């Protein structure tokens, strides 16, 4: 249906003009689907039939600029250059799928610190936003000191540095050995405040260790934590590469667990240089390792903090720690991994083993190996067993905890049994797949390669498949490398683009790298606009805060009631919608899918014939109906001669008229116009003809403007065949014309006929009409015959004339009025003395008048025409229902 925009009338589909008001409907009333051709309402965006897009997508204009890049969940992200590279490398077969999303995000967050260069000062604007500094200024003095010390750890946020419990310390010590000025120690209390709770539990011993050793020296910057774990054995970060290289010659022995670890050089104190760092340099004593060593000296910025957390206790080898003992079945540890752990363990001969009740296969072996290596070198405190229920904590995380606990020199804290709610869902739900390790020989063959050779070590396919997304391929490769091989692979992977970009060394400057990487988009949205830099948003003037109300009103410098970030103005000015869209990869993917042009994505198929068939069927039905209705009329006689039984109401109507005496006045209300004459004329002819036959005086009125003309033509036709009426206008019958006023006029007619209708249809005063003599109101009439085409006029006559004045009222009504007229006939007092409804009743009434028991040929043909149409209608209804139910059954079967 098409609804007229002017009057709201529902028009048939395909209409060009409104049926009610004639308003042109040429406005685009439908949108043709480019895919299936179906017509859709103009307000639709998607096709109602095929769900194809109807409107072409308008891509965003270039002025709007590129959408903001997807940023990680954690604070720092990549620099813009890195993001561009990421976009360029998107087409390349970069194995993004190999790295879990959360791992990439976490890595991206940490890589910002790793990729950035060391800033000139701790207060560099690129790493600590001003607004955050302002917030910190409001903190107590202790916290401020802690924040300052945290700023000195330039690359990583403080809470991330806390994840490097021991590795960071080792690197600090290394820097101390290099003679760099030490910074203020990072207080353990402040660290506890800054570390998320769930993370602090992962490193319970780290904070305690810092508490015991309040001088962590300088922050570790040059020793990559994740590389330290690749070093098989104790290492010593020397200031001279030669010494390291000399020690690396002995690194071969470190791959044999049974051999004792070489001692660290005497000139380097044990608490400054991790022994395990000295070991690979001694073990791998190759000359070329010296040249590769600078490559291995990767800044801390390149160290993922999450990896740094995995090397907890190596640098504390000098402490008389009892090495942990890991109960791992044989065969779970690859040989190449087994070679990485013995030095620490044997260095600390008196260390007590760490008992871990961990089922085989729950921990990736390479992680278990790392843990064992580090944990063995840790503090001598008693280590306790971990009984972590399965599912509460990822096993690999649980496996890390006792290692950290072993770093404590004091009694270990109570057993931690964190619930799942204490960890982020992604960690709590993460369960690394069980690893079915291949035979040890398989890996040993890989280890048989020369140590310095650059080749890609690959785990067997079944191992990689078992590791799944938990261990990226690049990480798995690094695990099997000797340090120099790992460095080579690192460089090669960086060149080939296989390495995640956050591991690639940044070429940009520190400010550029940190400027956009410090604050993710969602956090930037919360930043007060007045504190934003000029490149982001026009920063309004920053006015000094002053209290406006209360006792401190007018005093500047007071603390605001709410923090700046909590004030709604910042939220209002933020482009939260765009950020929300672009921060979510699914949302961006959805945007891309929706934004595709329909021509590019949808095939143009042939327009279905769905609209043609119903139209054809409709035409067929029309044709059959016209033929069925026309045929009896054309033939002029009924198909079957039959006797028609009149209804009781019709008989009553006939009886009432038959009981009239000659010259009894009868008021005939001609309440139909030419639009209803096709149905009402037979009824009116039957009733008025009968009245004329009875010699009644007929006075005709009409409540419709066009009614009197219709009545006059019929009266003239009927009077022509009756001599008493042929020349008797005004004598035997009169047409008083249009009676305006509807119900009120009918009521008035019962009071004063001349007041209501002073003149007849031709303008003749009623007093001049002989037929009107003695008729001053409707109460003077013996009968009122209402020829009703609508129920309204019938009700007016019943309510305003027949019932109030107790005037006998009969009706010849349209078939559509019968349901309304019938109850008035059923009343005890007979509000309707008779009822002739529709053409069938008219035909039967005619038969009653003729006393022949059957209608005339023309009336019978008309009745046959009516019955044929009704029969066809019944058949169409049945066929439609059968088709509907059969189709519905077919759909159910589908």
Using CB under 8 A, which of the segments 243-251, 623-631, 660-668, 776-784 binds other proteins? 623-631
- Contact positions with other proteins (CB under 8 A) in 648-687: 676-679, 681-682
Comparing CB distances to other proteins, the nearer of 600 and 640 is 640
What minimum distance in Å lies between the beta carbon of 690 and other proteins?
A: 20
In this structure, the strands spanning 834-837 and 809-813 are parallel
Using CB under 8 A, which of the segments 81-89, 293-301, 364-372, 819-827 binds other proteins? 819-827
Handedness of CA 278, 280, 281, 285 (dihedral sign): positive
Using CB under 8 A, which of the segments 286-294, 299-307, 387-395, 626-634 binds other proteins? 626-634
Handedness of CA 605, 611, 616, 617 (dihedral sign): positive
d(CA 682, CA 281): 119
Comparing CB distances to other proteins, the nearer of 562 and 828 is 828
Using CB under 8 A, which of the segments 390-398, 415-423, 557-565, 757-765 binds other proteins? 757-765
Closest CA to 269 of 229, 293, 239: 239
Using CB under 8 A, which of the segments 69-77, 307-315, 579-587, 700-708 binds other proteins? 700-708
Cα-based torsion angle of the residue sequence 65, 66, 72, 77 in order, rounded to the nearest 10 degrees: -80
Determine if 157 is a binding residue for other proteins (CB under 8 A): no
Comparing CB distances to other proteins, the nearer of 207 and 703 is 703
Candidates 831, 836, 845, 849; binder of other proteins (CB under 8 A) is 831
Comparing CB distances to other proteins, the nearer of 619 and 639 is 619
308: number of CA atoms within 13 Å, CB side? 35
Comparing CB distances to other proteins, the nearer of 225 and 750 is 750
What minimum distance in Å lies between the beta carbon of 46 and other proteins?
A: 28
Each residue 787-816 as x (binds other proteins by CB under 8 A) or -, in order, gives --------xx-xxx-xxx---------xxx
For every residue of 758-771, DSSP letters joined together read SB-TTS-BGGG-GG
What minimum distance in Å lies between the beta carbon of 747 and other proteins?
A: 6
Comparing CB distances to other proteins, the nearer of 571 and 871 is 871
Structure tokens at 703: 């409540």
Structure tokens at 503: 């591991």
Whether the Cβ atoms of residue 59 and residue 49 lie closer than 8 Å to each other? no
Comparing CB distances to other proteins, the nearer of 26 and 414 is 26
Candidates 128, 282, 838, 847; binder of other proteins (CB under 8 A) is 838
Alpha-carbon distances, residue 206 vs 153, 211, 353, 649 (angstroms):
17, 8, 19, 104
Using CB under 8 A, which of the segments 47-55, 398-406, 423-431, 858-866 binds other proteins? 858-866
Q: Which residue stretches of 636-706 are H helix? A: 648-658, 677-693
Candidates 617, 634, 806, 882; binder of other proteins (CB under 8 A) is 634
Count the site residues for other proteins by CB under 8 A: 64
DSSP state of 715: H
Exposure string of 211-232, with b = 16+ CB inside 10 Å and e = fewer, is: eebeebbbbbbbbbbbbbbbbb
Candidates 560, 608, 758, 853; binder of other proteins (CB under 8 A) is 758
Comparing CB distances to other proteins, the nearer of 309 and 685 is 685
What minimum distance in Å lies between the beta carbon of 806 and other proteins?
A: 11
What minimum distance in Å lies between the beta carbon of 631 and other proteins?
A: 10
d(CA 472, CA 475): 5
Structure tokens at 276: 């395990």
Whether the Cβ atoms of residue 280 and residue 235 lie closer than 8 Å to each other? yes
Alpha-carbon distances, residue 144 vs 118, 136, 190 (angstroms):
22, 6, 9
Comparing CB distances to other proteins, the nearer of 133 and 795 is 795
Handedness of CA 647, 650, 652, 654 (dihedral sign): negative
Candidates 763, 774, 893, 894; binder of other proteins (CB under 8 A) is 763
Whether the Cβ atoms of residue 433 and residue 470 lie closer than 8 Å to each other? yes
Determine if 870 is a binding residue for other proteins (CB under 8 A): yes
Alpha-carbon distances, residue 728 vs 98, 666, 668, 767 (angstroms):
108, 15, 17, 16
Each residue 21-50 as x (binds other proteins by CB under 8 A) or -, in order, gives -x----------------------------
Comparing CB distances to other proteins, the nearer of 522 and 738 is 738
For every residue of 459-496, DSSP letters joined together read --HHHHHHHGGGS-HHHHHHHTS-HHHHHHHHHHHHHH
Using CB under 8 A, which of the segments 37-45, 253-261, 590-598, 864-872 binds other proteins? 864-872
Handedness of CA 853, 859, 860, 864 (dihedral sign): negative
d(CA 138, CA 133): 9
d(CA 628, CA 637): 14
Using CB under 8 A, which of the segments 160-168, 778-786, 817-825, 882-890 binds other proteins? 817-825
What minimum distance in Å lies between the beta carbon of 865 and other proteins?
A: 4
| Residue 765, φ and ψ in degrees, nearest 5 | -60, 145
Whether the Cβ atoms of residue 320 and residue 462 lie closer than 8 Å to each other? no
Comparing CB distances to other proteins, the nearer of 265 and 708 is 708
What minimum distance in Å lies between the beta carbon of 592 and other proteins?
A: 43
Determine if 622 is a binding residue for other proteins (CB under 8 A): yes
Candidates 121, 239, 597, 630; binder of other proteins (CB under 8 A) is 630
Comparing CB distances to other proteins, the nearer of 532 and 862 is 862
Closest CA to 344 of 334, 354, 355: 354
Each residue 732-751 as x (binds other proteins by CB under 8 A) or -, in order, gives -----xx-x-xxx--x----
d(CA 589, CA 580): 13
Whether the Cβ atoms of residue 78 and residue 111 lie closer than 8 Å to each other? yes
Candidates 175, 200, 793, 865; binder of other proteins (CB under 8 A) is 865
Using CB under 8 A, which of the segments 27-35, 39-47, 460-468, 827-835 binds other proteins? 827-835
What minimum distance in Å lies between the beta carbon of 620 and other proteins?
A: 11
Comparing CB distances to other proteins, the nearer of 86 and 864 is 864
Residue 735's contacts (CB-CB under 8 Å, 6 or more residues apart) are 700, 708, 711, 712, 715, 729, 760, 761, 762
3-state SS track over 245-266: HHHHCCHHHHCCCCCCCCCCCC
Each residue 709-728 as x (binds other proteins by CB under 8 A) or -, in order, gives x----------x--------
What minimum distance in Å lies between the beta carbon of 659 and other proteins?
A: 19
Determine if 199 is a binding residue for other proteins (CB under 8 A): no
DSSP state of 12: -
What's the CA angle centered on 178, arms 172 and 183, to 5 degrees? 45
d(CA 12, CA 18): 9
Candidates 770, 819, 853, 880; binder of other proteins (CB under 8 A) is 819
Candidates 590, 619, 639, 885; binder of other proteins (CB under 8 A) is 619
d(CA 172, CA 150): 14
Determine if 629 is a binding residue for other proteins (CB under 8 A): yes
Angle between helices 612-635 and 857-893 (to 10 degrees): 160
Determine if 514 is a binding residue for other proteins (CB under 8 A): no
What minimum distance in Å lies between the beta carbon of 599 and other proteins?
A: 31
- Contact positions with other proteins (CB under 8 A) in 2-21: 12, 14-17
Residues lying near other proteins in the complex (CB under 8 A): 12, 14-17, 22, 619, 622, 625-626, 629-630, 633-634, 676-679, 681-682, 705-706, 708-709, 720, 737-738, 740, 742-744, 747, 758-759, 763, 795-796, 798-800, 802-804, 814-819, 823-824, 826-829, 831, 838-839, 862, 865-866, 869-870, 873
């Amino acid at each position: 249906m098409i609804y007229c925009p002017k009057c709201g009338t529902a028009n048939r589909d395909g209409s060009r003009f409104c049926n009610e008001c004639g308003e042109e409907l040429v406005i685009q009333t439908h949108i043709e689907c480019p895919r299936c051709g179906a017509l859709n309402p103009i307000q639709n965006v998607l096709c109602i039939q095929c769900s194809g897009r109807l409107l072409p997508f308008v891509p965003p204009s270039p002025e709007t600029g590129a959408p903001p890049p997807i940023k990680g969940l954690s604070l720092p992200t990549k620099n813009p250059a890195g993001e561009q590279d990421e976009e360029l490398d998107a087409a390349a077969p970069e194995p993004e799928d190999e790295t879990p999303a959360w791992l990439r995000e976490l890595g991206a967050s940490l890589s910002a610190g790793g990729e950035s260069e060391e800033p000139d000062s701790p207060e560099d604007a690129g790493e600590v936003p001003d607004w955050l500094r302002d917030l910190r200024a409001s903190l107590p003095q202790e916290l401020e000191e802690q924040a300052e010390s945290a700023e000195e750890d330039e690359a990583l946020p403080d809470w991330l540095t806390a994840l490097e419990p021991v590795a960071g310390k080792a690197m600090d010590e290394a820097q101390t050995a290099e003679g760099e000025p030490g910074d203020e120690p990072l207080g353990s209390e402040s660290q506890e405040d800054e570390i998320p709770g769930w993370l602090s539990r992962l490193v319970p011993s780290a904070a305690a260790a810092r508490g015991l050793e309040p001088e962590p020296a300088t922050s570790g910057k040059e020793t990559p934590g994740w590389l330290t774990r690749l070093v098989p054995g104790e290492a010593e970060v020397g200031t001279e590469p030669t010494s390291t290289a000399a020690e690396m010659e002995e690194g071969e022995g470190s791959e044999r667990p049974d051999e004792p670890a070489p001692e660290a050089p005497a000139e380097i104190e044990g608490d400054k240089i991790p022994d395990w760092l000295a070991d690979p340099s001694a073990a791998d004593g190759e000359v070329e390792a010296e040249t590769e060593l600078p490559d291995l000296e990767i800044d801390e910025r390149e160290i993922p903090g999450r990896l740094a957390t995995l090397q907890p206790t190596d640098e504390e080898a000098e402490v008389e720690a009892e090495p942990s003992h890991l109960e791992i079945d044989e065969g779970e540890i690859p040989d190449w991994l087994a070679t990485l752990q013995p030095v620490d363990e044997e260095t600390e001969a008196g260390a007590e083993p760490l008992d871990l009740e961990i089922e085989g296969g729950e921990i990736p072996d390479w992680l278990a190996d790392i843990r064992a290596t580090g944990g063995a070198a840790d503090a001598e405190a008693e280590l306790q067993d971990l009984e972590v229920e399965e599912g509460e904590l990822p096993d690999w995380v649980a496996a890390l905890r006792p290692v950290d606990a072993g770093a404590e020199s004091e009694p270990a804290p109570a057993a931690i049994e964190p619930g799942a709610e204490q960890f982020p869902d992604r960690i709590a739900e993460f369960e690394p797949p069980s690893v079915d390790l291949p035979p040890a020989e398989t890996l040993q063959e890989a280890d048989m390669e020369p140590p310095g050779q650059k080749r890609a070590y690959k785990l067997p396919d079944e191992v990689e498949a078992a590791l799944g997304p938990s261990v990226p391929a690049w990480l798995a490769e690094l695990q099997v490398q000797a340090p120099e091989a790992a460095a080579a692979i690192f460089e090669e992977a960086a060149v080939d683009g296989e390495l995640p970009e956050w591991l690639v060394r940044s070429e940009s400057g520190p400010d550029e790298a940190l400027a956009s990487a410090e604050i993710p988009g969602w956090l930037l949205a919360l930043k007060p606009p007045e504190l934003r830099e000029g490149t982001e948003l026009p920063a309004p003037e920053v006015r000094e805060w002053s209290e406006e109300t209360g006792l401190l009103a007018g005093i500047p410098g007071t603390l605001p009631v709410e923090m700046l970030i909590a004030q709604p103005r910042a939220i209002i000015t933020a482009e939260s919608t765009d950020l929300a869209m672009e921060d979510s990869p699914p949302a961006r993917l959805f945007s891309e899918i929706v934004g595709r042009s329909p021509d590019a994505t949808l095939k143009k198929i042939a327009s279905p014939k769905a609209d043609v068939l119903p139209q054809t069927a409709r035409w067929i039905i029309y044709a059959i109906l016209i033929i069925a209705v026309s045929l009896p009329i054309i033939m002029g006689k009924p198909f079957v001669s039959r006797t028609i039984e009149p209804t009781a109401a019709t008989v009553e109507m006939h009886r009432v008229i038959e009981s009239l005496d000659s010259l009894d006045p009868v008021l005939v209300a001609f309440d139909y116009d030419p639009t209803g004459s096709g149905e009402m004329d037979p009824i009116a002819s039957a009733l008025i003809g009968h009245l004329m036959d009875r010699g009644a005086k007929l006075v005709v009125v009409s409540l419709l403007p066009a009614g009197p003309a219709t009545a006059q033509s019929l009266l003239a036709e009927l009077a022509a065949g009756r001599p008493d009426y042929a020349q008797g206008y005004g004598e035997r019958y009169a047409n008083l014309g249009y009676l305006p006023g509807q119900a009120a006029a009918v009521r008035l007619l019962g009071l004063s006929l001349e007041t209501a209708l002073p003149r007849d249809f031709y303008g003749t005063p009623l007093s001049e009409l002989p037929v009107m003599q003695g008729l001053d109101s409707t109460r003077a009439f013996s009968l009122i015959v209402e020829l009703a085409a609508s129920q309204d006029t019938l009700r007016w006559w019943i309510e305003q004339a027949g019932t109030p004045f107790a005037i006998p009222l009969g009706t010849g009504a349209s078939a559509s009025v019968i349901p309304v007229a019938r109850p008035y006939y059923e009343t005890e007092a007979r509000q309707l003395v008779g009822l002739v409804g529709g053409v069938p009743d008219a035909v039967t009434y005619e038969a009653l008048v003729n006393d022949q028991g059957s209608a005339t040929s023309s009336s019978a043909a008309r009745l046959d025409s009516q019955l044929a149409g009704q029969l066809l209608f019944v058949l169409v209804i049945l066929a439609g229902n059968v088709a509907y139910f059969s189709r519905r059954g077919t759909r159910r079967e589908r």
